[in-house]
Amino acid sequence: MTELPPLNSLRAFDAAGRRLSFRSAAEELGVTQGAVAQQVRQLEAHLNVVLFERVPKGLRFTSAGRSFHNRITAVFADIRSATAELKPEPDKVVISVTPTFAAKWLIPNLPEFTAVCPNIDLRIMATEKVSSFHSDGIDLAVRQGSPPFGASLDAMLLFKQSLIAVAAPKFADKGDNLLDSETLANEPKIHDTHDLWPSYLAHLGVQDQTTRHLHLNQTSLAVDAAIAGQGVALVSRFLVTHDLEAGRLVEVGAAWDADKNDFYVLMPRTAKNNESVANVVAWLMSRSADDI
């Protein structure tokens, strides 16, 4: 039986052949450039065949080296494939959310999700555009609006749109955080793309009296600006739960439930039998119930 070459020499040859550089192969393997060169020399001595020509810009295969590398690369690919079958990757679930939902609610709650669903690889696609379940390859989406969202989609209510006015503690009234409507109307306002301040103030029965306005294109930025003391922001309560609990923000305006603007989890009806997707949905609904 022909003696097999040393495995480390084969790994060094495989990496060097894919990159045609001892330096790059060394970076991939986490060893020194000299160690890779030595392993390749040992393999050449073992086979009594020259595998590479050393050229100024790196390496060039000999004809024997190229043929041998093609076979060795295929063998390593088979080994990786066999290993993956024994130790499969976690189930992957892709969820589409807005950057604000990701930053202010989903990501802060990820440690709990990982503890509850350790075998699910949750991948977050944070974008302002409406993602396509088909072309973008997403499994779930959190979207704001009102049903129906599409005949092929199941929609589950995640959060009611309960808006509150929030600000840094310095804006709060002494003894009672809530400001009266007239005082709130005179405070500097922070706007996001939804620009719900006019509707909110109309609900309170007052008109805006301030000339100080800050306009931002994301709600998460409006929240950060409020924390920084730049004025009063109008946001969904569930998005600032952590900031309220930590004392970074205080509620200075009464809640207002804006109609037809709630948050829903959307799932293709064809995904009902996907256990991983169902588990993510179950966790989302359970976690939102806790917040409510």
What mean pLDDT do residues 151-169 have? 91
**CATH placement of domain 91-160+261-291:** 3.40.190.10
Q: Is pLDDT at 283 greater than 80 in this prediction?
A: yes
Q: Is pLDDT at 7 greater than 50 in this prediction?
A: yes
What mean pLDDT do residues 222-238 have? 95
**Per-residue model confidence (pLDDT) at position 89:** 58
Average pLDDT, the chain: 90
What mean pLDDT do residues 217-234 have? 95
Q: In terms of pLDDT, which residue wins out, 4 or 224?
A: 224
**Per-residue model confidence (pLDDT) at position 19:** 92
Q: Is pLDDT at 292 greater than 80 in this prediction?
A: no
Question: pLDDT confidence of 1, banded at 50, 70, 90?
Answer: very low
**Residue 103 and residue 239: Cα distance in Å, rounded?**
9
- Give the percent of the chain with pLDDT over 70: 96
What mean pLDDT do residues 264-272 have? 89
Question: pLDDT confidence of 174, banded at 50, 70, 90?
Answer: low
| DSSP type of residue 272 | T
Instruction: For 200-218, write each residue's pLDDT tens digit.
Output: 999 999 999 999 999 999 9
Give the residue range(s) of CATH 3.40.190.10 domains in the chain. 91-160+261-291, 162-257
Q: Is-contact 98 217, C-beta < 8 A?
A: no
Torsion of CA 225, 231, 235, 241, to 10 degrees: 70
Q: In terms of DSSP H, where are the helices of 159-264?
A: 181-186, 197-204, 219-227, 241-246
Q: In terms of DSSP H, where are the helices of 31-160?
A: 33-47, 63-86, 99-101, 110-116
What is the residue whose two structure tokens read 């799932």?
Answer: 267
Q: Which residues of 172-197 are buried (b: 16+ CB within 10 A; e: fewer)?
A: beeeebbbeeeebbebebbbbebebb
Question: pLDDT confidence of 2, banded at 50, 70, 90?
Answer: low
Instruction: For 91-119, write each residue's pLDDT tens digit.
Output: 889 999 999 999 999 999 999 999 999 98
Q: Identify the CA nearest to 9 among candidates 33, 44, 34.
A: 44
**Residue 251 and residue 234: Cα distance in Å, rounded?**
10
**Residue 114 and residue 117: Cα distance in Å, rounded?**
5
**Per-residue model confidence (pLDDT) at position 87:** 66
pTM of the entire predicted model: 0.66
**Per-residue model confidence (pLDDT) at position 173:** 64
The residues, any chain, with a CB within 8 Å of residue 232's CB and separated by 6 or more, are 165, 166, 167, 171, 184, 187, 188, 189, 190, 226, 252, 253
Question: Rounded to whole angstroms, what are the CA distances from 269 to 130, 140, 274, 276, 281?
Answer: 18, 11, 10, 14, 13
141: left (phi over 0), alpha (psi -120 to 50) or beta: beta
**CATH placement of domain 162-257:** 3.40.190.10
Q: Identify the CA nearest to 237 among candidates 159, 169, 136, 162.
A: 162
Instruction: Average the pLDDT over each of 62-66, 147-151, 253-257, 278-282 and give the range with the smallest value.
Output: 147-151
CATH of 7-86, one of 1.10.10.10, 1.10.287.130, 3.10.129.10, 1.10.150.20: 1.10.10.10
